[in-house]
Every structure is written in structure tokens, then in C-alpha cells.
Structure 1
Amino acid sequence: MMAGWLDIVGMGGPATVQDGGRPGQMHHGVPPGGALVPELLARANRAVGNPWGAAALECLGPLELRARGRALRISVDGRDARALADGESLRVPAPERASVCYVAVDGGLDVPEVLGGRGTLLVARLGGHEGRVLKPGDSLPLGETRGPPESVDTDAVWDDAAPIRLVLGPDTENFDALMAASLLGSTFTVSSASDRVGMRLQGPALAHGDEGASTSRPMARGAIQVTLSGEPIILGPDHPTTGGYPLIATVIRADWGRLGARRPGATVEFHAVSQDEARDAWREHLRRFRGGA
């Protein structure tokens, strides 16, 4: 069976190829990457019979796609899964509720695997399609169809009013006690300067006594760095692998998607949990969105 191609006919906003990430490469200076909203990637992939982390399109705006070489099954965020005949086009609307949407095709996007992943890492120009943002005229190869479609519940992604859960530390001693209270008791706003490297928050400054002389150390997605000006930055999937700003807290892994789904201008509030609660939340997250995989 011919694998086929997915042609990019038109675009109204940036789009890249993303997948479940490339863990285990931090020692090479390569962040894990992965979908900004993993829950929506999982739902889109499972709706067309793919493993949850197969390569798909992560889109910030509308685009027009065309099937070439074979008929295919396509899904946007796991909704409106439909068949597309060879040569047929589909217009994908801009994301409606989240910051991004995901377009998955049965068999996945068969772009080359680089360092264990197919996702685009723009800061290093690797992965995806030529390591860059897609443009009209690009053609993406498709893999072989794998299995039957299934559904996955992602309602929790859209609980916009729920606080984002975090674990305080490891550098709380660098902050006045009032700063941790301010983090947990204030409402922040997502800045338009946010991207896949980090989400910048506008709100009360979180003053600290660190003058930037700290030794650089490994970073992780979800870590909340605080700059010298007191601005909190929550590290995203394409975060630097090391950094020296103090870390007031870390967003738990189960809430990465709920946070990443928030658009610029959206509000963010935080709630502190224990490490045991964070582990329990992650186990439940795996069961719901990845089918335990």
C-alpha cells in the first residue's frame, strides 16, 4: 500500500510537526520537546488509530491540507474525524478554545526521526520538516495505517477556572515568605511574549535575593524561573537545558497541557500540592489520556 502524502496548500498561522517528544537527550543539550498540549495530541492521534505520541501538526492558525497518493483519515483535536479521498482538500479552522490545535492523520507524519523523536525543535533547526515552520507547498510523507480509531476524554483540558497545580521549591529560601504567598494568592496573565520555550506571566513581581550569580544547573519543563525583575517564566517543551535563575516552584506534569492551552491574555492561578499528590495526578493522567501507555 502506498503511504501517501499530506500537502500543505495554504496557511493562516504558524504550524510545525510535533510528537510525544524526545526524552533522554538533555545531556546532549537537547530539550525533550513534545506537544504544547499533550492531551489534544493524544486525542487527535487515537481518533485515527495512531499511538498517542505519533507525529502530527501543531497549528496556531487555520490551514488548508490535501491528501495525495492515498485516501486517509484525519482528525482535529480528536473531533470531526473524517475520511479524505486522494486529491481531496480540507480546511482546518484556527484553534477555537486552546492556544493550538492538532491535526493527526492515520499512520502519522513519517518525517525522519532525529535523536529519538520526529518533532520540530525550532531553536536548533532539527526534526519535523527540515527543522522549520511549515509553509505552503510543503509535502509531508505519511506512515502506514496502524489500528482502529478510539476516543479519549480530554474535558479536563478546558477547565479554565481551575488553578494550575505546582510543587513549591527548590529555591524557596531565595524568596521572602510573602513571595510564595503572592505566587499562590495572585492572578497572573499569560503574556503575548510566550512561546514553546517558556510562558511569561504578567502580575505581581516575585522579588528575590539572587543577583544572577547562581551556578547554572539542569532545567525541566514546568519549572518556574524568576528573573531579576521578578517576572515568572514557566519553562515549556523547548526550554533551555540549563539555567541560573532561582526556581520558586514547578508545575506538575499532569497540568502541563492545561497550562499550555491558555492563550495570551488568559488568567492563571496556582495551587500548591505535595509530591505524592503530583505522582497520583500523573498516574491518573496516564490512564485517561494515554490509555495507560
Structure 2
Amino acid sequence: MAGWLDITGVGGPATVQDAGRPGQMHHGVPPGGAWVPELLALANRAVGNPWGAAALETFGKLELRGRGRRTHVSVDGRTFSVADGEVFTVPAPESASVRYVAVDGGLAVPEVLGGRGTLMVARLGGHEGRLLRPGDVLPLGEGGGTTETLELGDALDVTAPIRVMLGPDLERFGAATRASLLADTFTVSPASDRVGMRLRGTALAHGDEGAGTSRPMVRGAIQVTLSGEPIVLGPDHPTTGGYPLIATVIHADWGRLCARRPGTPVRFVAVSMEGAREAWRQHLERFRPTM
């Protein structure tokens, strides 16, 4: 039975997001995907959806109405049922930076380039490629999947160090700067967004005046600007860039970093390629067991 989700109130930036659209970088389209993939998986599996189904990603309070059928809803894994025509409120995120609202069957917005998520820098995907606002109506898919309870454990521990692989541009940074990356504590800047998380703290001097060759970028790469400010590239990052890269956050720690609210401390620790691969293997087993 068809159904809809009405957006009746928005208290902060909110979009439709999913697992992303990998494989489009050669077209200039970043992979996108959830800001905190673990919370997306938690919400979706609780209502029987594939982990990466389209859901709401919100940085503030939401007011919603289910319409057309009884709808099963999950807010970060906490489930409840909404009757046809019932209005309900999703509180603003509390412990994490963001919150995910999934409904059984997922949000059936059109698929664009292999994904349903919103890419605002290109105005595509989601609902008209933009932030949601009151009056928007989102279609729902058919539910009926098998529900599953995932456990976060320490996956989003905001006190844990963030694991990185050093490089590839270490030769552009002096020994003292390389040491500062791993020894000093940074904090999340309020200026962060889905393009990149800006970090406040020790300036990472490098003397590079922007003469580097532009090359492909990846999510988690830590660019260092001319001022020495580190920026960890997010899901909507530019597909190319020329700032030197001092390190890259490993795939398994994307969510652990992005779950941190502005002002939260961030420390880095270096790991090997083997360590990064093993962390990702364990992460897949934990959060994507149906893949």
C-alpha cells in the first residue's frame, strides 16, 4: 500500500540521504552517503530496510506526518508505529551531531545516478536536490523486510582517537608539523558541513602556496589549507583538489569522527594499511551483516 511522509516542521538542516552513489567520481559527482553511516544502518535495519536505504538525515528537530498507511518509524534504532494522518515529532540530535529517521520501505524518491541521497552542491537527488522544508511530501516504498537490532557499542565513542593513515604528501610537511598532527588535540569547528569537517587547533604549517597539481580526492582525506587549517573531507567533497594531504581517516572511523558535535575534541593516531583493512572488515561484519 502506498504511503507518504509529510514534512510539517523543520528545526535545522534536513535532507534525504542513503548509502551514496559510488562510481561516479569520473563524472565529477562525489560519492555522498550518510554523514554517520552507522546511525543510518541502525535506523534502517530496525524497520526491516537494507542498511543503506534512503532515510532522513537531520541536524535539528523535525515534525512529520505519516499518510496513506500505518507507518513503522525508527529514530536512530528506536522504533514506533504511526497511524495514517498522525503527526509526530523527532527531537533534535542530543549526543551525536546528527539523527536519522527511517520508515519501513524507505523513502521512494527518484534514483539519480545510482543513488537517492541529496547532493546539494549539484542540486540532484533527494527531494529536488535541496534541503527539506515544511510542505514537502516524500513517497514511501513497500515495507515488510526483516527487522534487525544493531548494537553501536563503542563505534561512535567521541573520546576515542581517530585512526589515520599518514600521507601521501608527508614530504610537504616538516617533522614538527607531522608530529603535531598526532600529538596535539583539535576541536570540531562549527563551520563544518557535509563537504568537509574543519578542525580548530594547531596550525599545520607546510609552506605550500597552492602550486600542487590537482588530483582526485577521497572522503576522509585531511587537506591542509594555506593557513594551516586541517579539513577532513566529507561525503560531498570536491572530486579533485590541490591542497597537500597530511593523512586520511580510515573508512571504519568516518562515523566516529562525524558524530562529534562542534567543540568536541579530536585526536589522531596512525595505523598501517593492514590495520585499516582489518578495522574495516570488522566494521562490515558489525553494521552490514546482510551485505
Q: 2:162 is matched with which residue?
A: 164
Q: 2:50 is matched with which residue?
A: 51
CA distance in 1, matches of 2:83, 2:290: 33
SS in 2 for 1:157: coil
- The alpha carbon displacement at 1:161 in A equals 1.1
CA distance in 2, matches of 1:5, 1:157: 33
- Tell me if 1:18 matches 2:13: no
Counting matched residue pairs gives 291
- The alpha carbon displacement at 1:160 in A equals 1.4
CA distance in 1, matches of 2:278, 2:163: 12
* Residues 85-121 of structure 1 deviation map (CA, whole Å, 9 limit, x = unaligned): 1111111000011110000000000000000000000
TM-score (norm 2): 0.99
Matches within 5 A, 1:99-118: 99-118=97-116
- Tell me if 1:37 matches 2:49: no
Q: 1:27 is matched with which residue?
A: 26
Of 262, 265, 273, the residue aligned with 1:264 is 262
Matches within 5 A, 1:69-148: 69-79=68-78, 81-148=79-146
CA distance in 1, matches of 2:128, 2:46: 27
CA distance in 2, matches of 1:77, 1:266: 21
One-letter amino acid matched to 1:64 = E
CA distance in 2, matches of 1:185, 1:292: 39
One-letter amino acid matched to 1:24 = G
Q: 2:195 is matched with which residue?
A: 197
CA distance in 1, matches of 2:76, 2:9: 19
TM-score (norm 1): 0.98
CA distance in 2, matches of 1:61, 1:17: 14
Q: CA RMSD in A?
A: 0.8
- The alpha carbon displacement at 1:11 in A equals 1.4
Segments of 5+ residues of structure 1 without an aligned counterpart are none
* Residues 243-266 of structure 1 deviation map (CA, whole Å, 9 limit, x = unaligned): 000000000000000111011111
SS in 2 for 1:90: strand
Poorly superposed stretches of 4+, deviation over 4 Å = none
2:158–2:257 CA contact under 8 A, matched in 1: no
- The alpha carbon displacement at 1:158 in A equals 3.4
One-letter amino acid matched to 1:55 = A
Q: 1:279 is matched with which residue?
A: 277
One-letter amino acid matched to 2:98 = V
1:286–1:292 CA contact under 8 A, matched in 2: no
Q: Identify which range, 41-50 or 203-212, moves more after superposition.
A: 203-212
- The alpha carbon displacement at 1:12 in A equals 1.1
CA distance in 2, matches of 1:237, 1:42: 16
Segments of 5+ residues of structure 2 without an aligned counterpart are none
Q: Identify which range, 205-214 or 100-109, moves more after superposition.
A: 205-214
2:36–2:255 CA contact under 8 A, matched in 1: yes
* Residues 141-185 of structure 1 deviation map (CA, whole Å, 9 limit, x = unaligned): 000014121101112233111100000000001100111110000
CA distance in 1, matches of 2:144, 2:210: 50
Of 147, 150, 162, the residue aligned with 2:148 is 150
CA distance in 1, matches of 2:84, 2:155: 33
CA distance in 2, matches of 1:267, 1:68: 42
SS in 1 for 2:236: coil
One-letter amino acid matched to 1:46 = R
2:48–2:146 CA contact under 8 A, matched in 1: yes
One-letter amino acid matched to 1:273 = V
One-letter amino acid matched to 2:222 = I
